[in-house]
Amino acid sequence: MSHAKPGRPIEILLVEDNPGDVRLTREVLRDGKVHNHLNVVQDGSEALAFLYRQGHYATAPRPDLILLDLNLPKKDGREVLVTIKGDNNLRRIPVVILTTSQAEEDILRAYNLHGNCYITKPVDLDQFIRIVKSIEEFWLTIVKLPME
Amino acid sequence: MVQAPLPDNEAARVKALRQLSILGTAPEAAFDDLTRLAAYICQVPIALVSLVDGDRLWFKSKVGLDVSEIRDGTFCTQVILQADLLVVSDVQQDERFANSPLVQADPAIRFYAGAPLITTEGYGLGTLCVLDYVPRQLNSAQLEALQALARQVMAQLELRRSLAELTETRNRSSNILESITDAFLALETTLLQQAILDGANYTIISTDIDGIIRTFNRAAEQMLGYSADEVVGKTTPLLLHDLQEVEQRARELSEELEVAIAPGFECFVAKIRAGGVEEREWTYLRKDGSRFPILLSATGLRDSDGNLTGFLGIGSDISDRKQAEEMLKLQSLRSQLLAEMSLKIRQSLQLDEILQTAVTEVQKIFQSDRVLILRLDTEGRGRVVQEAVAPGWSSTLDLKVQDDCFGSDYLKKYRQGRTYTVNDVDTAGLEPCLVNFLKYLDVKSKLVMPILLKDQFWGLLIVHQCDRPRQWTSLEIDLMKQLANQVGIALAQAQMLEQATLQSQEMARSNADLEQFAYVASHDLQEPLRMVASYLQLLERRYRGQLDDTADEFIAYAVDGATRMQTLINDLLDYSRVDSRGKSLVLISCSAVLARAIANLQPAIEAANATLTCAALPEIMADATQLTQLFQNLISNALKFHSDQPLHIHVSAQHRADAWLFSVQDNGIGIDSEYADRIFLIFQRLHSRGEYPGTGIGLAICKKIVERHGGNIWVESQPGQGSTFYFTIPDRGGNSA
C-alpha cells in the first residue's frame, strides 16, 4: 500500500550529477504507477541544502525517498549519507544508493553507513527501467514506513 | 634414495680429520663464537660446525641443537663432496637430501646452507652450516659472511693440527731422547759417542757431578752459538740459562722438596739424583743474547757400579711449537674479539649506528686515540662521517679530505684492498705535505683499512695514535682487516634493508595506483558507456518504425559493443583484484566451495544439459571466494566449449607429495596442445567471438588465483578428446578427502 496521502505526490530526491542519468530516471518515473514528484540536485552540498531547507530550498518538501549517487562533486554521496543517517529527523528517510560503482568497498561502506539498499546501474536500458520500477514499487508501495 | 658415491680419497680425508685430534673434544669458545655469529647473521635457529666422520656428523660446536652427533650417511656424503658453498632452500624438495634422517626425522630441517671446511691439502672435513625448520633463502651478504666465518673455523682447525703434529713430534723426540741416552750410556768408545753426539739434531750437553760442562755437541754449538771449546770446563747453568727462570724453578723445587734448593745447577739435577729422567721446558740463551725455548731432558750418568758420575742434558728446540701455541692463543683471542665486535656492529641495521659502534669498539680494543670513518664519494672526495676520540685530542668529524698530497693513486690502491700502516709519521718517509697534514691532527702513527661494500670501495676505517709512534702488530692489522670486512658486510645488509624498504614502499604505492585505476575503471569508465548504451536503446524505442531496418541493426551493434565493453571492464577488474583483494587463506571445504560454484552456474548447466559429477574433495587452506571463482571459471569454460555429444564434467582431487592436485575434466571440443600454455594468458582467445563469446580473461584469472595460492595450473587435452584442467594447491594442513 502507499503511505502517501491521496492528492499529495510522493516526493523523490534524486542526487545525481549526470544529466543523462537524471533524464533516464525522469523518463522511467514519468510512466510510474505512483504519482510522484522528482526533485533533482547535482551535488552533495545541494542535497544537504535541500534536506535542511537552506537558501533557495527554503520551501523544499521533505522527500519520501532519496536516490543517491556516490561520486558527486563537492560533497560526495558518502558524506551525504553520513549526514542523513546521523540526523535524528532525516535518518528514517529510505536512501537508495544508485551508482555505477561495483567496488566491494563501496557496497560495504554504503551498508555500514546505514544506506537502505545498494544498486549498481546497469548498462542495459531495459534493466535500468526494471530497476527504477522495482525501487518505486518496493519502497513506495510494498514497504511500510513510519508516518512523518 | 639418491646415494652419492664416496670420494676416492675418503681414507686420506678421514686421516686428515683424525690428525686434528678434535673428534669428541669439549666445546671451545673460539668455535662457539663463530657458530653463534653464523646463526645470528643468517637469522636461523641452528648453526653447526659439523665434521664428517664415517657416517656420522659430529658437531664441534652447535647452536640450537641438543645432540652432539647425528648418524646420517646421506648428509655426510653430500657434505664432504661439497667443494663450494651449498645452499638448499628446501631440502625436502631436493632429491639429494629428501630421504636423509636429518630431514625425515627430528630435527626435520627444511633449510640447509653450508660452507665447506677444506684443508690446505684439499680435504673436506665438514662444514660450517646453518639450518632452519622452514624453507628460506640467504642474501648475498649472509652467504659471504658464512664463507668468511667458515674460513675462520678452518684457521682454528689448521692451528690445532699444527699443534697436534708438534705434540706428536715432541712425543716422538722424547722416545728418541731415551734411546740416545741409552746408547750414550751403553757405548764405551768415546769416538763412537762423539759421532752420535755430532749427528744428532738435539743439543747434547754432559757435565760432571758438579755441573762443569764436559761435552757440547755440534747441534748445541749451532743452536747456541758457542763453540765446544768456549764452554767445556765452564759451569752450567748460568752461561746458558735465564737467571730469573732458574731462580723461579729453585723456589718451586724448594717448596716441593721441602729442602732449600739454591738457584743453580741443583735446580736441574735435584730430582734426578734419585734416578730417572726429568723433562722440562727451559729457555736457552744464545751467545748473542737471543733466546729460544727448549724441551730439556736431563738424566744422570752412572758408572758400572751405579754411582752417579755426571749428568746428561738433551734439548730440542721447541720454538715452532711455542709459536704455534702462541698463534693459537692469539687466533682464539682474535676470533673472540671479532665475534664480539661483529655482533655489536651487526646488531643494528641502521647505517649511523653501525658506524658509531664500529669506531667506538675499535677505539676501545686498540686503545687508540682516534678512530674515524672516512666516506668517499665517487669523485674520491672524502668526508669524516663518524669518529671516536679519546679525551684531549681534536675531533675530525665532518673534516673533508681532498688533499693532493695523498697522491693521485692512493685511492686506487685501497680500492684493490690494500691496507696501510704508518708506525711513525716522522720516520716513515712521507711527503712533507702529508706529514704536515697528519701533524695538524696530532697523528703520530696510523693504520688505514679500506671498507668495501660488495666489492665497491666505500670508504676507510682509520686508527690514529696521537700520543706516541706505534708498532702495529700483524695481529692488530689482521684484526682490523676483519673488522673492516664486518663493517662492509653490515653496511651491505643495511643497504639491502633500505632497498627492501624502498621497494616495499614503491610496491605499496604502485598497488595504491592500481587500486585507484581499478576504481576509476569500475566507476568512471562505465558511466559514459552506460550513457551510450542507454540512449541508443531509448532512441530505438522512441523512434521505432520511424527509422529503417539498417538503423535498427546499427543500434543493435552499438548496444552490443557497449555491453561487451562493460563485461570486459568487469573481468579486468576481477583480474586486477585477485592479488590486491585476496583474503587470507583459511581452512575451507572444497566440496562446499564447488557446490556454491555449481549453484551460481545452475542456469548455464541446465541450458547445456550437462552432467556434473565430483569425487570426494579435501579441506584445504584457501580463499573461499577465489576458489569458488576458480571452479566457476573452469566449469563455465567446459560448458562453453562443449561438443555435440552430451557434456559430462568431472571434478576430483588427489594428494601428491605436499600438495593437492585438482582436476576438472570434460568431454568437450578439446584444445590443440600447441595452445595449452597460451590460453592462460590474458586476452588470449582461440575462437572468434561469433563461435564462442568471451573476453579471454577467465582462465587468466584462474591462473592468477592458483598462483596466489602457491600452486600451478595447466591443461592436458587433445582436439576432439575433451580437456582436463589440472591445478595444485599446496597442502598446508587440513583434512584429507
Q: Number of CB pairs < 8 Å for A and B? A: 57
Using a CB-CB cut-off of 8 Å, the residues of chain B touching A21 are 530-531
B479, containing H or E segment: helix B474-523
Mutate to test the interface with A, among B525, B527, B535, B573 (most CBs of A within 10 A): B527
Mutate to test the interface with B, among A23, A100, A121 (most CBs of B within 10 A): A100
Using a CB-CB cut-off of 8 Å, the residues of chain B touching A101 are 519, 522-523
Using CA coordinates, name the residue in chain B closest to A102: B522
Predicted local confidence at residue B188, as pLDDT: 45
Residue B502 has pLDDT above 60, yes or no: yes
Residue with cell 631436493: B94
The rounded percent of chain B whose pLDDT value lies above 90 is: 15
Using a CB-CB cut-off of 8 Å, the residues of chain B touching A70 are 523
The rounded percent of chain B whose pLDDT value lies above 70 is: 86
Residue B405 has pLDDT above 80, yes or no: no
Using a CB-CB cut-off of 8 Å, the residues of chain A touching B524 are 71, 100
Q: What is the ipTM of this complex?
A: 0.73
User: Are the beta carbons of A99 and B538 separated by less than 8 Å?
Assistant: no
- Residue B681: Cβ within 10 Å count: 12
Using a CB-CB cut-off of 8 Å, the residues of chain A touching B529 are 123
* Strand A117-120 versus strand A95-99 pairing type: parallel
Residues in chain B: 737
Write b or e for each residue in B23-52: b if 16 or more Cβ atoms lie within 10 A of its Cβ, otherwise e: eeeeebebbbbbbbbbbbbbebbbbbbbbb
- Say which of B522, B523, B534 has its CB closest to residue A128: B534
Q: Which of B308, B313, B284, B311 is nearest to B296 (CA)?
A: B313
Residue A51 has pLDDT above 50, yes or no: yes
Interval B594-636: pLDDT, tens: 999 999 899 889 988 899 999 999 999 999 989 999 999 999 9
- Say which of B523, B537, B563 has its CB closest to residue A101: B523
Predicted local confidence at residue B175, as pLDDT: 64
Residue with cell 543517517: A85
User: Are the beta carbons of A123 and B573 separated by less than 8 Å?
Assistant: no
Using a CB-CB cut-off of 8 Å, the residues of chain A touching B541 are 125
Q: What is the mean pLDDT of residues B515-539?
A: 76
Q: Distance from B541 to chain A by nearest Cα, in Å?
A: 10
Q: Distance from B640 to chain A by nearest Cα, in Å?
A: 23
Distance CA B724, CA B269 (A): 97
User: Are the beta carbons of A103 and B522 separated by less than 8 Å?
Assistant: yes
Residue with cell 540512449: B535
Residue B310 has pLDDT above 80, yes or no: yes
Residue B316 has pLDDT above 70, yes or no: yes
User: Are the beta carbons of B526 and A99 separated by less than 8 Å?
Assistant: no
Distance CA B54, CA B15 (A): 11
User: Are the beta carbons of A101 and B522 separated by less than 8 Å?
Assistant: yes
Mutate to test the interface with B, among A101, A125, A129, A132 (most CBs of B within 10 A): A125
Contact B29, B4 (CB under 8 A): no
Predicted local confidence at residue B110, as pLDDT: 86
A61-90 residues touching B, CB cutoff 8 A:
70-71
Residue A54's pLDDT band, with cuts at 50, 70 and 90, is very high
Distance CA A111, CA A118 (A): 8
Using a CB-CB cut-off of 8 Å, the residues of chain A touching B530 are 20-21, 100, 121-123, 128
User: Are the beta carbons of A123 and B530 separated by less than 8 Å?
Assistant: yes
- Say which of A24, A71, A102 has its CB closest to residue B534: A24
Predicted local confidence at residue A63, as pLDDT: 94
Using a CB-CB cut-off of 8 Å, the residues of chain A touching B562 are 123
Interval B579-592: pLDDT, tens: 777 788 899 999 99
Using a CB-CB cut-off of 8 Å, the residues of chain A touching B538 are 24, 27, 125
- Residue A63: Cβ within 10 Å count: 23
- Say which of B530, B562, B573 has its CB closest to residue A121: B530
Q: What is the mean pLDDT of chain B?
A: 81
Predicted local confidence at residue B406, as pLDDT: 64
DSSP B609: T
Using CA coordinates, name the residue in chain A closest to B570: A102
- Residue B565: Cβ within 10 Å count: 17
Predicted local confidence at residue B387, as pLDDT: 93
Using a CB-CB cut-off of 8 Å, the residues of chain A touching B535 are 20, 24
Write the DSSP string, B218-270: HHHHHHH---HHHHTTSBTTTTTB-HHHHHHHHHHHHHHHTS---SSTHHHHT
Q: Distance from A43 to chain B by nearest Cα, in Å?
A: 16
Q: What is the mean pLDDT of residues A89-102?
A: 88
Residue with cell 706505534: B470
User: Are the beta carbons of A104 and B581 separated by less than 8 Å?
Assistant: yes
Distance CA B50, CA B72 (A): 12
Interval B174-221: pLDDT, tens: 666 666 666 655 554 455 556 556 666 778 888 888 888 888 888 888
Q: Confirm or reject contact between A99 and chain B (CB < 8 A).
A: yes
Q: Distance from A104 to chain B by nearest Cα, in Å?
A: 9
Residue A66 has pLDDT above 80, yes or no: yes
B357, containing H or E segment: helix B351-366
Which residues lie closer than 8 Å to A22 by C-beta, 6 or more apart? A14, A16, A40
Distance CA B540, CA B545 (A): 9
User: Are the beta carbons of B573 and A27 separated by less than 8 Å?
Assistant: no
Predicted local confidence at residue A96, as pLDDT: 93
Q: What is the mean pLDDT of residues B470-482?
A: 83
Q: Which grid cell sits at B311?
A: 749428568
Residue B1's pLDDT band, with cuts at 50, 70 and 90, is very low
User: Are the beta carbons of B527 and A104 separated by less than 8 Å?
Assistant: no
Q: How far is CA B563 from CA B532, B559, B568, B626, B694, in A?
A: 10, 6, 9, 25, 12
User: Are the beta carbons of A18 and B527 separated by less than 8 Å?
Assistant: yes
Using a CB-CB cut-off of 8 Å, the residues of chain A touching B522 are 100-103
Q: Edge-to-edge strand order for the sheet containing A117-120?
A: A36-41, A10-15, A65-68, A95-99, A117-120
Q: Which grid cell sits at B529?
A: 558507456
- Say which of A20, A71, A124 has its CB closest to residue B531: A20
Interval B43-82: pLDDT, tens: 888 999 988 887 788 898 988 888 888 877 777 677 667 7
Predicted local confidence at residue B276, as pLDDT: 66
DSSP B674: G
Predicted local confidence at residue B589, as pLDDT: 92
The region of weakest confidence among A39-43, A111-115, B235-239, B281-285 is: B235-239
Interval B351-394: pLDDT, tens: 788 888 889 888 887 889 999 999 988 777 888 999 999 999 99
Distance CA B93, CA B69 (A): 24
Predicted local confidence at residue A87, as pLDDT: 92
Using CA coordinates, name the residue in chain A closest to B536: A125
The region of weakest confidence among B95-109, B308-322, B525-539, B605-619 is: B95-109
User: Are the beta carbons of B534 and A71 separated by less than 8 Å?
Assistant: no
Write the DSSP string, B569-603: HHHHHHHHHHHHTPPPPEEEEHHHHHHHHHHHTHH
Write the DSSP string, chain A: ---SPTTSPEEEEEE-S-HHHHHHHHHHHHT-SS-EEEEEESSHHHHHHHHTT-GGGTTPPPPSEEEE-SS-SSS-HHHHHHHHHT-TTTTTS-EEEEES---HHHHHHHHHTT-SEEEEPPSSHHHHHHHHHHHHHIIIIIS-----
User: Are the beta carbons of A126 and B562 separated by less than 8 Å?
Assistant: no
Using CA coordinates, name the residue in chain A closest to B527: A100
User: Are the beta carbons of B533 and A20 separated by less than 8 Å?
Assistant: no
Using CA coordinates, name the residue in chain B closest to A99: B523
Among B128-137, B147-156, B481-490, name the most confident range.
B128-137
